Structure 1
């Protein structure tokens, strides 16, 4: 739907386990940062959206396919693609790759829902639909 968004990440010592391999949960952190920066690059500040529009994103579903390890000092990129737009949710695929390579180390398949302060589902704001190429609400 939208062009892929690329977010660079460097693997630091704190990201690794005793064997120097990225600890599995850190890929979720990398992906979260990439989604936040994807929105920020599109002019969307999540804190303002939560405070002014009573709208926030939550991960409803995340499937992670760990294919190969990243290690200490690797230069990585998280490639984010929005693959679908629903009334109150986005579908996305995020791939973690080594910079300059195309073979993913990790693939995350996500459904990201929109909720209000009470945690109830709400439709995506039009500016989010415009950002991801989702057009008018269905």
Structure 2
């Protein structure tokens, strides 16, 4: 699995008064897509917390809005791992329309932190290896 795809439908609640998706909703969709991509790898967030007392937090997000999404459109959030470090990883998440046209691109940096103290910690196994196995170099 080099890229995970998560489907989204644009509902009325996702839009502003002009019927265009409100900018903050892309962040929510990206979060769900990241969670589902880990679940698809058999490595859900809850397991990281239960086994290692750690979790992944967003350190940085860069969003480029290219074309607006509108009410009732069907979209895909494609998640790709670009880099895995000792305690961090970088992802690219593309919001695509049904024709695979790029609507929005998010570049996300995550850090693994200990639950106690919220300090950076090495990404434990099997997460580290599994994430390294799906790295897709930047285009």
TM-score (norm 1): 0.91
The corresponding residue for 1:35 is 34
- 1:1-138 equivalences under 5 Å are 3-101=2-100, 103-117=101-115, 118-133=117-132
Distance (whole Å) between structure 1 residues aligned to residue 44 and residue 8 of structure 2: 21
Cα displacement string for residues 56-98 of structure 1 (whole angstroms, at most 9, x for unaligned residues): 0000011000111000001000000000011100111000011
Q: Which runs of 5+ in 2 are unaligned?
A: 135-139
* Contact residue 56 and residue 114 of structure 1 kept, 8 A: yes
Question: Deviations for 1:4-45, whole angstroms, at most 9, x for unmatched residues?
Answer: 110000000000001110000000000000000000011112
Aligned equivalents of 1:99, 1:127: Cα separation in 2? 34
Residue 110 of structure 1: how far off its partner (Å): 1.1
CA RMSD of aligned residues (A): 1.4
Distance 1:116 1:64 in 2: 27
**Distance in 1 separating the partners of 2:60 and 2:29:** 16
The aligned length equals 133
Distance 2:133 2:74 in 1: 32
Measured in 2, the distance between the counterparts of 1:69 and 1:96 equals: 10
Aligned mates of 1:128, 1:104 — CA distance in 2: 29
Q: Indicate conservation of the 8 Å contact 1:85/1:134, yes or no.
A: no
